[in-house]
Amino acid sequence: MSQATNTSVPPAATAAAAPNASKKSKKSKDNFQLKTPKGTKDWSGKDMILRESIFNSLSSLFKRHGGVTIDTPVFELTEILTGKYGEDSKLIYNLQDQGGELASLRYDLTVPFARFVAMNNVQNIKRYHIAKVYRRDQPAMTKGRMREFYQCDFDVAGQYDTMVPDSEILAILVEGLTGLGIKEFKIKINHRKVLDGIFKVCGVKDEDVRKISSAVDKLDKSPWEAVKKEMVEEKGQTEEVAEKIGSYVKLNGSISEMAEKLGADELLLSDPSAKEGIEEMKILAEYTAAFDIHQYLSFDLSLARGLDYYTGLIYEAVTDASKAPENAQELKKKASKKGDVEDASEYVGVGSIAAGGRYDNLVNMFASATGKKNVSIPCVGISFGVERIFSLMKARNDLMDKIRSNSTQVYIMAFGDGYLSERMKIAKELWANGIECEYLYKAKAKTRPQFTGAERSGAPVAVIIGKDEVASGKVRIKKLNQGEDADEGELVDLKDVATAVKSLLTKLNAGSSVDEIAAMIKGL
């Protein structure tokens, strides 16, 4: 076949075409669009300062609750990830075969954690992990719906009394969001045992439960009629079954109210799984009241969480920005007419900003695959969606206007000879004392460029030397950006420069840049 194809082209034609093909190849190689792949972005300036502050805030929170951190590979064997995410499995990024192993980019941090626990025979651990995950999804760039994004996870693995770690995880969720200045949010919670029991008493077959759960999970984005239509036309349920399910999944309220209401439902109590779930929710109500977080919680039977591995309590945190705008379809049409297919931020919501749940069988699934029997390491965890939280915080102009793009606290200046070596020695002393400082990279530094450099750095303090200061072994420490209230600053001995600078920064309430933004966030 290949021989016939080759001989069908005259040699002269091939020779004539070769130069053109070469030119075309060279042109396509030299000319390309300089951009990041769809669903990814570069981070710099104020964005990096804000994101770093989010990481620091959550890391400190996780440590306060006894967490230890781990790291896992950015890709896992494909068989490790397969079958763990339900319908979302289609969003896994598969890699090319290398060395006989099929691998995929991690979809979340939960499945790699369960693999780690099973592989290392860990009996109990509180672990946190901050790292990137990947989704082969259609992104909406400015709403935090990305193909590459960070998750901040905290999980508890091990055998504990019912609902004790679950309630602390919810407390961590509340503390994490309020610590980031996010005050107006609601945590929707549900229980997989209750939800699965509802499906069964309504007439759903066991093999269809996960499919119906996936449909119900769309109620936060779609009206009931659309979800009902999917159940009947796509999932094979009767109108009667769908209506029965609807009578339950439209219910929500406080944990105590809902547990009491469901606990009086004889039909639902006929299912052992649902009955067990209701009893666990009654226990949870007591513990969340002890943590004083019950006011943030709503027992919402429409919450399903599409991932297959959840077995018990499930939850997600939402804000007003989580929902799509009411005129979403109209905005989507406008965007399509403009040809803007990448940025769907105008007509989609942020979605949940944190989510998680209990997954008691995932570790056992991995352990069983290696021949270990009867391994039971229950797990429960929470995942904060950093990019989605970031998009909410960045929308606060009162916050972003105050953030400086770098961490420089002190700018070292010299008048007269330049005194580069002296500036270097002062910088070395300040760096050794943990003070962020800079100076102009010029041996003969002129005055104007130094003030320009100080202004660009945003440094609140300057250390200044000149002929008189060098001769007397002193430096002048001066507050910057005072306008008409500017003064000459304070003369101090060179040996005391770090102490004097720290004292002034404390008076100005100017710690490191990350500390500053953390203080601003908490003051929102």
The reply to whether 441 sits in an annotated binding site is no
Residue with tokens 């004392």: 433
Count CB-CB contacts under 10 A for residue 461. 24
Rounded Cα–Cα distance for residues 304 and 327 (Å): 25
**Three-state SS across 238-291?**
CHHHHHHHHHHHCCEECHHHHHHHHHCCHHHHCCHHHHHHHHHHHHHHHHHHHC
Rounded Cα–Cα distance for residues 490 and 252 (Å): 64
Pairing state between β 297-300 and 490-493 = unpaired
Rounded Cα–Cα distance for residues 460 and 504 (Å): 10
The reply to whether 411 sits in an annotated binding site is no
The reply to whether 135 sits in an annotated binding site is yes
Rounded Cα–Cα distance for residues 464 and 270 (Å): 80
Structure tokens at 521: 């966030």
Annotate 406-449 with DSSP letters as a single string.
S---EEEEE-SS--HHHHHHHHHHHHHTT--EEE-S-TT--HHH
The reply to whether 310 sits in an annotated binding site is yes
Contacts of 80 (CB under 8 A, 6+ apart): 111, 112, 115, 366
**DSSP H or E segment with residue 176:** helix 164-179
What does each C-alpha distance from 180 to 107, 281, 520 come to in angstroms? 25, 28, 10
The reply to whether 161 sits in an annotated binding site is no
The reply to whether 396 sits in an annotated binding site is no
Rounded Cα–Cα distance for residues 106 and 134 (Å): 6
What does each C-alpha distance from 495 to 77, 176, 340, 491 come to in angstroms? 58, 42, 60, 12
Rounded Cα–Cα distance for residues 91 and 452 (Å): 49
Rounded Cα–Cα distance for residues 288 and 40 (Å): 38
The reply to whether 155 sits in an annotated binding site is yes
Backbone φ and ψ for 490, nearest 5 degrees, come out as: -120, 135
Residue 355: strand, helix, or coil: strand
The reply to whether 408 sits in an annotated binding site is no
The reply to whether 297 sits in an annotated binding site is no
Rounded Cα–Cα distance for residues 47 and 103 (Å): 32
Binding residues: 108-110, 135, 151, 155, 305, 309-310
Binding residues for L-histidine: 108-110, 135, 151, 155, 305, 309-310
